[in-house]
Structures are given as structure tokens and as C-alpha cells.
Structure 1
């Protein structure tokens, strides 16, 4: 991709697009620039008729540590300032865009996923996670209200009780617990996670046209309960802006 920083990489093999988060020095935390690269990459995938599935994975010890600390700090000074508002919006849009990719998607999760990183894996159609993965909502611990439709994304997979335990009361999951609660399909040792995700993706990728049609209807029929994801994102945003603007220790 022209103008790419290399923090988002795309590889296509036999109809499977693999998108890799490649900013391990900051645990793949999302900046507005990285989020924009992700969106452009998903656009590129959607423009290819030969792609029938997509896998999202990450380099390093963390899948995604959420929003970049500096980005959150800058936004906290004045979340309604145009630049801060646009930057946070880009991060929201990156995982929302993953949820709109026209082919079936799988998140291959190793290490930790926190905050917006949880939203990224929750946006996929399926999740394969490592046994020692650490899945953490983490917003309230940072003194920030969840954003990006987090409550909708989480509760549609694990139900209200477990979502409350994670999002409100700070419980975290490993791979075994994620599978038990329905947040992930399978859990494996670290070195098998990405291979298994690609194996599953390859099955549906054999027929890209059918994959696109099927996943479109799958999402319409099984989508988030209650309010729409888009409405939930807007509903949560003013609350998150308020929480970020408060003085913190």
C-alpha cells in the first residue's frame, strides 16, 4: 500500500487475506494513523473479487492494547476538539469497518486484547484465541467510559451477565473461559492459533462469491440485539468524551 507505515500488513494467499497489526513496540495500540491504514486495507480487500475470507492477527506479545496512550491523553484535554474528535473517530471506524468487510472474518488472538483491542476482535465473525490470552475490557480501569459500541459487541456474544462482569466489574478471560462463555470458537497453544484461523478461513475462501453473499445474510440475521451497533457507538460517544475530559490522577 502506498503511503503505508508498515504498521498494517496485507498478504493474500489462495483467497485468504491476512491483515497483520505490526506495531509491537506499543503492543499494537491503535493510533489514528494506524486506524486509517486498517480502514484502507479493508477497503483494498473489499475491492478484490478473489478474496473469500479475512484473518486479523498481530505481531508481538499483544493482539492490541487498545487506543494509543498519547492519543487518549491528547483527546482527554478536549475530546470535542476537531482533531481529537476525528482521531478517536478513526479508531472507532477501524473496527466498525472490520465488521463491514464483505467476506467472513476471523480474529486470531494471541497475548492481550484490551479496550479498543477487544472491540477489534469482537468485530470479527469468529475468534480463535490462545490458551494464555488475556481478554480485558479495561475502559473503566482507565477512568474512561467504553466506546465504539462495546456493550453491544460484547453482550451479543456472551450475554448480559458475563458482559457486566467484564465491562463493569473488571473480570478478564483467558482462552478456556472465552470458549466456555461463547466469546471464542476454539483455544489453542500460541503457535497454533494463526494456523488454525487460516485453516478455517481457507474453507470458505474457496468460493468467494458465495462467501460474500452468505456472510452478508448471516450478519443481518444474527446481528446485535437491542439497538444497532451504529446507534450504540453514537450513544456511548458523549459518555466517553465526558469521562476522558475529567481530571485524572
Structure 2
């Protein structure tokens, strides 16, 4: 619940009500919207096309670096998000997988820190992000390089541009180089060399792991931004991408 979840909860509640109203207005004028916005409106209420309905769309071939993953549970349903960044195109892709009970995920071999050459097809959107693997052309290797933003301001600017095209994005990817995890009271932040900072998600339980891995020095971090705080998913340490979501225990 948003109410009473922090001193700024009225502003956050108002923001979400505004997004809901925008969604309602979008459906009221659905036929007047361009096809990409219509697709975003459908996706916002959980209505997405089947993969076989999208096979006619252009493929994007690249060497895709698996930069982060996140697993959610809803009863027996497991939902996995995998984030990929293309080495040549610089595009970011989100792969969504669903599994029930003990069922395996289809992209189970795509682990953070690996890379694979593949053709992806992106779902229609005004800000295309979600995709699926149409064809994998080689076996997984390790990441060689990743494109990211050099400042927090540049990273947030990319988020603002995406939200302007698709206001119903629930979260967005941020890859930021040269940031340091800093604790301020009970809250953690990422601070860049320009002195700008963004808050880390309050429920993020690997903050001390992240701080230890950074050694108090600037590192590159990838995570999910929801417009209010960042959930770090991986960190680049000594040339290797480490999955923060699997780290457990007390340091």
C-alpha cells in the first residue's frame, strides 16, 4: 500500500492515480491512437499477442549480453525477467518467462554474465522493450563489453524519453557506470562523480554485498528503475558481471 509508506506518499499516490486516469482516457479514445500506442494500452491491462502472431515482424540480430535477471512468485506461478543489451545495436531487450510449479524456464541457460548471438523479435510498442528469441545462432559465451550511461542524469533522461512514449511502463532498465553505493542513515543511494544520486529500493537486501564488492570505489551497476528507486540486479567487478539477486547471508 502506498498510503503512509513514507513522507512523500501523497505525491506518489497522486502520480499513480494520474497514470490510471491516462490509461482510462487512452481506452476511451482507443481507435484514435496509433497502432504502437494501442499495443501499449493492451499490454498495460495484461493483453499481449501470442508469439506466433509476431513472427512476421522484423528480426534484430546481435550478440546479446545477459545483464540481469529477476524472479517473482505468485503462488505456484513463477515470473522471470531477463535483461539483454545488444553489443552492436545498443538496444535493450526484456525477455519474460512464465513457469508453473517445477516447470523449467525456456531461457534457463541465459544467465547474467553470459552472451549469445540471436535473432530477437520485439513486441509492438511505442517504446519497444519486451522481446522473445526467434532464433539462437550460437552457444552462450561470456560478456565482453556492455554499453551503459556514464552519469545518473543521462540514465534518467533515457527513462524520461521512454515514459514519454509509453507512460505505462512499470519499470525501466538503467545501466550506469562510475557510481558508488552510499548509506545515508537507513537508506542506500547510488552516487555518481557529478554528485547526483538516486535511491536504492528499500527492500533491496543485498546492499552490503554491493558495497563490499565495490570496495567503496566507482562501479558499473545494472538495475530496474520504477520511477522512484532502483533495484540493483548486477554489478561489474574486475571485468565480470555478478548477479546480485543470488547473494544471500551476512557478510
Give the TM-score of the pair, scaled to structure 2.
0.28
More helix by share: 1
More strand by share: 2
Pick 1 or 2: higher relative contact order, CA cutoff 8 A, min separation 6. 1
Give the TM-score of the pair, scaled to structure 1.
0.29
